[in-house]
Structure 1
């Protein structure tokens, strides 16, 4: 099945979240702001927000 460029870009963005150590993220999410988490783990601010939403489901 073919993928469009848009689908591939979305897939690449979602895969970048898996480079984050989830145990460290959970430990630090209560102490740090979203911006500080993004800088700490080297991801975008939007990725931090998405990850928090997924964790709290």
Structure 2
């Protein structure tokens, strides 16, 4: 299997929309979408996209 710079970056970077995925998962359980958006400085649409992405994986 070939290793590439792009592949290494995708595995080492756990952020989507500039949000740490694991931190988001922990806070998602206790906070509302509005609280998450203000906490991470993202829009409500981006919160919904992150929640969709979590359900797929």
Higher RCO, 1 or 2 (CA under 8 Å, sep at least 6)?
Answer: 1
Using structure 1 for the length normalisation, give the TM-score.
0.68
TM-score (norm. length: structure 2): 0.68
Report runs of 4+ in structure 1 exceeding 3 Å deviation: none
How many residue pairs get aligned? The number is 41
Structure with bigger strand share is 2
Alpha-carbon RMSD: 1.1
